[in-house]
Structure 1
Amino acid sequence: MTTKVPDAPPAADPRLKGGLGQVILATLASTAGFWAWMAIAPLQNIYAEKMGLDQGQVSLMLATPVLVGALGRIVVGALTDRFGGRKMFTGVLLAAVPAVLLVALAGSIGSFWLLVVAGFLLGIAGTIFAVGIPFSSAWFPPARRGFANGIFGMGMIGTAVSAFATPRLAQSIGYFPTHLLIAGVLVVMAALVWFFLRESPAWQPSRQPLVPKVKGALKLAVTWQMSFLYAIVFGGFVAFSTYLPKYLVTIYPDDVDAVGAGTRTALFAAVAVIARPIGGVLADKFGPKIISLVSLAGIVAAAYVVGQQPPEGVLTGFVFLLMAFAMGLGMGAVFAWVGPSTPPDKVGAVTGVVAAAGGLGGYFPPLVMGATYHAETNSYALGLWLLVLVGAAALVVAGMLRDARPAK
Structure 2
Amino acid sequence: MRLKALKDGHWPSLLGAWLHFEVSFMVWLLIGALGVAIAQEFDLSATQKGFLVGVPLLGGALLRIVVGPFADLFGAKQVGLGILALEVVALLLGWLFGASYFHMLGVGFLLGFAGASFAIALPIASLAYPPERQGLAMGVAAIGNSGVLLATFFGPRIAESIGWQNTFGVMIIPVVMTAILFYLLVPDHSGQVFRKSGATFSVRSALQQPFMYWLCFLYGVTFGGFVGFSSFLPIYFHDQYQLDMVTAGTITAICGLAGSLARPVGGHLADRLGGIGLLLTCFLVTAILSVLLSGLLPLKFALPLTIIMLLFLGFGNGVVFQIVSLRFQGIMGTASGFVGAAGGIGGFLLPSWFGVLKDATGSYASGFLVFGLCSGLAATSVLYMQRWGRVSLNAPSVPK
> TM-score by structure 2 length?
0.91
Aligned to 1:57: 48
Whether 2:323 is the aligned partner of 1:337: answer: yes
Whether 2:379 is the aligned partner of 1:395: answer: yes
Aligned partner letter, 2:353: V
Q: 1:64, 1:363 within 8 Å by CA — same for their partners in 2?
A: yes
SS of corresponding position for 2:296: coil
Deviations 1:52-73 (A, max 9, x none): 2212222221111110101110
Whether 2:127 is the aligned partner of 1:141: answer: no
2:347 to 330, 340, 362: 362
Residues 369 and 144 (structure 1), Cα distance of their counterparts in 2 relative to 1, 3 Å cut:
same
Query: 1 CA distance for matches of 2:50 and 2:317?
Result: 24
Alpha-carbon RMSD across the aligned residues, in angstroms, is: 2.4
Query: 1 CA distance for matches of 2:208 and 2:338?
Result: 11
User: 1:142-221 maps to which residues of 2 (within 5 A)?
Assistant: 142-198=131-187, 203-205=192-194, 213-221=202-210
Larger Rg: 1
Gaps of 5+ in 2: 396-400
Aligned to 2:78: 87
SS of corresponding position for 2:297: coil
Q: Percent identity?
A: 32
Whether 2:240 is the aligned partner of 1:251: answer: yes
Deviations 1:161-186 (A, max 9, x none): 10000110122344344222211211
- 1:316 to partner: Cα distance: 1.4
Q: 1:106, 1:112 within 8 Å by CA — same for their partners in 2?
A: no
Aligned to 2:19: 28
Aligned partner letter, 2:207: L
Q: 2:193, 2:331 within 8 Å by CA — same for their partners in 1?
A: no
Query: 1 CA distance for matches of 2:67 and 2:125?
Result: 15
Gaps of 5+ in 1: 1-11
1:325 to 284, 294, 311: 311
SS of corresponding position for 2:82: helix
- 1:20 to partner: Cα distance: 2.3
- 1:248 to partner: Cα distance: 1.0
Aligned to 1:5: none
Which deviates more from structure 2 when the two are superposed, residues 171-180 or residues 34-43? 171-180
Aligned to 1:277: 264
Aligned to 1:266: 253
Q: 1:150, 1:281 within 8 Å by CA — same for their partners in 2?
A: yes
Deviations 1:274-330 (A, max 9, x none): 0000000000010011111121112111111101111111x2121011101110110
Query: 1 CA distance for matches of 2:21 and 2:216?
Result: 21
> TM-score by structure 1 length?
0.89
Q: Give aligned pairs, total.
A: 385
Whether 2:233 is the aligned partner of 1:233: answer: no
Aligned partner letter, 2:378: A
Residues 201 and 260 (structure 1), Cα distance of their counterparts in 2 relative to 1, 3 Å cut:
closer
- 1:17 to partner: Cα distance: 5.9
